[in-house]
Amino acid sequence: MSDEAAAPRPQETIMQAVFGFMASRALTVAAMLNVADALQEGPRYYTDLASAVGADQRSLHRLLRLLVSLGIFEETSPGTYGLNAAADLLRSDHPQSLRDMAVMITSPSHWLAWGEFDAAVRSGESGSRHAFGTDLFAWFQQEENREQWELFNAAMTSFSAGTAAAVAKAFDFGSFGKIVDVGGGHGLLLRQLLAVAPQATGVLFDLPAVVEGADRGELGERLEVVGGDFFESVPAGGDAYVLKHIIHDWSEEQCVRILRNIAAGMAPDGRVLVAEIVMPDTPEPHAAKFMDVNMLAMTEGGCERTESEYAALFESAGLRLIAVHPTDSIASIIEGVRA
């Protein structure tokens, strides 16, 4: 069959994109119901599965029929559903689980902000500001949104699971004595880095309300937990400052402030290691392009950047980009030193 014959018709291309939100919401609901957990012992007929997860039988059958068509779950015989490699990542106990990310992505924090995406495109202000009257992170700190804040942090840990292992594998952290994870959340990435750099100590740095939930594991005194604001300062004396999915949240001015604080505090021969999805200069489909518009919807000036844009950003902060290291995940490691 020729490529022309195999290509989708224009109507199919549009309708597939139009229906995209349905796939996202269906995936969220399957994750909320913990369907993958209920299938860990093997495939189940949909009536039995519906009873196990507390869902209407026919409705669950229709939900899973859609997800199977998208490559998530498998129908092993008519009406009987089981896990495949993709659905396995929705298990809550999977070491690289994306379950919390799947729940969060159409929760009110994102669903309502994306409902204002037209206003974001027209105005350049985030969908969050149009939906909530304030920026996303300020909204999270309101007491009535505490559950959404906790879900967001759990989702970020979930999102980190695959990326953290890939970052730890893609770069030699063995030469560093002190690794500072800036905006490190609950510490998943830093624990991975300290596992591959057994001689190093680590500093987990994030907002005080975030690091309250940090997991030290068995690291003991090797891991120091520090609460603070990276717009004001960062812990000094680090040999490596790692920022994973932090820089893309903020405007140019804010990113320069963060990076300048790091440049001021780092050891003379230290490294800045930014783990982000690098935007390609070419028009092919790429995860960065989805994440970029998500930053438009959710944040005040956040975006994904090309390699040349990272180089310019580093230069503005008194740093110099020296390499971009691909990883086995969608993220790359952008390496910088003092200029």
User: Around Cβ 309, how many Cβ atoms within 10 Å?
Assistant: 14
Rounded CA separation 96/72 (Å): 16
Is residue 60 within 8 Å of 49, Cβ to Cβ? yes
Residues labelled catalytic: 248
With 0-12 / 13-18 / 19 or more C-beta atoms within 10 angstroms meaning exposed / middle / buried, residue 42 is exposed
Measure CA 110 to chain center. 13
User: How many helices (H) and strands (E) in the chain?
Assistant: 18, 10
d(CA 331, CA 203): 22
Closest C-alpha among 177, 176, 206, 201 to residue 191? 201
In angstroms, the CA 111 to CA 74 distance is 27
> CB under 8 Å, gap of 24 or more: what pairs does 145-154 form?
145/109, 148/107, 148/108, 148/109, 149/209, 151/100, 151/103, 151/104, 151/107, 151/109, 152/104, 152/109, 153/185, 153/186, 153/210, 153/213, 154/100, 154/104
Instruction: Give 278's Cβ-side CA count (13 Å radius).
Output: 21
Closest-CA residue to 288 (of 275, 274, 305): 305
* Helical (H) or strand (E) element with 244: strand 240-244
Cβ atoms of residues 158 and 99 within 8 Å: yes
Q: How many Cβ atoms are within 10 Å of 59's Cβ, its own excluded?
A: 12
| Contacting residues for 265 by C-beta, under 8 A, at least 6 apart | 233, 234, 235, 236, 237, 238, 241
CB 216 within 8 A of CB 223: yes
